[in-house]
Structure 1
Amino acid sequence: MNTTVSRGALWLEKLAPNAPRLSGLCPSVQVADGEINGEAARFIAVVPDAHNHYPRAANGEVGLLEGWTLAKVVSETIAADAGKSVKRPIVAVIDVPSQAYGRREEGFGIHQALAGAAGAYANARLAGHPVIGLIVGKAMSGAFLAHGYQANRLIAFNDNGVLIHAMGKESAARITLRTVDALEKLAATIPPMAYDISNYATLGLLDHLLNISNPEAPSDADLAEVKTTLQQAIHDARQDTTLKNRLGADNRRSSSLVRERMRASW
């Protein structure tokens, strides 16, 4: 039996040490209430569950249970803080290999479950909660869209184990009728197709790219750097609830141009 702790579970524990997990949730969604710089914060991670009711979501994928549970947790956080002038930060600890692919998932509406999660995170951001996505491992496909992509600020580790993409390499190779090696060579020349985090950073979507000595066994200095970066991201997020900060990079010029022309047309 594989007893390796996922990066998501590891970093959830590092950021909220010994904090009890919120009860009443599916085992694959873990929520811990901790603090950042003395301020209460809610940390959320999706983790593997070998006994998941839906086998396609056993390895940390975001499926039906995960999507609706994320929506529930984030929506309840918004409701609990509705009367407060200062809203709690929400930190999505991201290590998700994919959405859950399966006939049952499609039949039972995984698109609605994941949309519910994404919508809840967007609602939290617009309600004034600083929503920070900390990418410690994989952030793939619809799983990333549901868990973290709606964050005010995205922070990622500069590490080979951090991958961000719409599709896994093997799947993308099949779809494009290439080998994985050929796909990697092509993707290296086209930043939006690339899998490595350095190419993704050129798209302007990341607020910070952190050099962590070992994401699977972080040092005290690593942890201190992450906490400081989270603190700064929370401060910045409180200044603006939009996602305009993602449009400044050279490789997003077309996105900016499209928006300008749409505004001119309307």
Structure 2
Amino acid sequence: MHEAPSLGAEWLLALAGEAPVQPGYPASVRVVDGQLAGRAARFIAVVPDPDSRYPRARNGEVGLAEGWALARAVREAMAADDSADTRRVIVAVIDVPSQAYGRTEEAYGIHQALAAAAEAYARARQAGHPVIGLIVGRAMSGGFLAHGYQANRLLALSGESVQVHAMGKQAAARITQRSVEGVEALARTITPMAYDIDSYASLGLLHRRLDVAAEDTSQVALVREALAAAVADIGGRTDLADRFDDQGRPASMAVRRRLREQWAG
């Protein structure tokens, strides 16, 4: 019996409308070409595949097949627009619980697969493709780093289903030798340890948090408007300076300023 569709799958369908899923990718990576803000756009999501040949990558994790497929999806979009005056928008629809943890993954180089995906997103951004990461569910660990974190702009929906962290609660509990409840208590006092999207937004890395519940795909028009506004905000910039200019990160800004001063001196 197959699991219910993931938030990533639901939002990909809502955003892409009637556009067909591109063939040739694993069942866990869905690629749809459509339109956004009057220009071509490629929407990409990682979704659960209960029939995956890799048991550790059946619940939406980014594993070997997913990492290489993400890299191919982004690079094919780049190649198609290589001589175009306007580069298509790339939207990473993000709902990933983590990277795939397993001996098979480690033996066959999951680090290379995920690095290939991250590099593809970064190269697309540097080549002039507006790249947007839309967090509609979980954005965890290496899965998030490979799928969406290299975007020019990060947007997120709202609600308890939307979480961002370097490690899942169960894994964090094992590493810190706490209970899950203890991890949650710690998160309430140390913002970088928190999982909720409001805490993540306070760190200054999020371009915009939308007042749209993750489960409410009826608000797709509002989300598409926000994506279009993010494309306009990107303009011709290809870097990630937007994340460092945020006033919510005064300590980081002070450190970077001191480093520049010492380097110049």
Aligned to 2:187: 187
* Structure 2 residue 106 is the aligned partner of structure 1 residue 109: no
TM alignment of 1:97-176, pairs within 5 A:
97-176=97-176
Q: Distance in 1 between matches of 2:34 and 2:256?
A: 39
Q: TM-score of the superposition, structure 1-length normalised?
A: 0.95
Aligned to 2:215: 216
Is the contact between residue 203 and residue 250 of structure 1 (CA under 8 Å) also seen in structure 2? Answer: no
Q: Distance in 2 between matches of 1:170 and 1:163?
A: 14
Letter in 2 for 1:223: V
Aligned to 1:39: 39
Gaps of 5+ in 1: none
Q: Distance in 2 between matches of 1:263 and 1:97?
A: 37
Letter in 1 for 2:114: L
Is the contact between residue 31 and residue 44 of structure 1 (CA under 8 Å) also seen in structure 2? Answer: yes
Aligned length: 263
Letter in 2 for 1:234: V
Q: Distance in 2 between matches of 1:3 and 1:143?
A: 20
Question: In the TM superposition, what is the alpha-carbon distance from 1:85 to its structure 2 partner?
Answer: 1.8
TM alignment of 1:34-113, pairs within 5 A:
34-113=34-113
Question: In the TM superposition, what is the alpha-carbon distance from 1:225 to its structure 2 partner?
Answer: 0.8
Q: Distance in 2 between matches of 1:80 and 1:166?
A: 34
Aligned to 1:230: 227
Aligned to 1:240: 237
Aligned to 1:198: 198
Is the contact between residue 29 and residue 44 of structure 2 (CA under 8 Å) also seen in structure 1? Answer: yes
Letter in 1 for 2:48: P
RMSD: 1.3
Moved more, 183-192 or 58-67: 183-192
Q: What are the superposed Cα offsets for residues 124-161 of structure 1, whole Å, 9 maximum, x if unpaired?
A: 00100000000000000000000000000000012110
Question: In the TM superposition, what is the alpha-carbon distance from 1:3 to its structure 2 partner?
Answer: 3.5
Q: Distance in 1 between matches of 2:246 and 2:184?
A: 23
Question: In the TM superposition, what is the alpha-carbon distance from 1:168 to its structure 2 partner?
Answer: 0.4
* Divergent runs of 4+, >4 A: none
Q: Distance in 2 between matches of 1:181 and 1:82?
A: 50
Letter in 2 for 1:153: R
Aligned to 1:253: 250
Question: In the TM superposition, what is the alpha-carbon distance from 1:224 to its structure 2 partner?
Answer: 1.3
Gaps of 5+ in 2: none
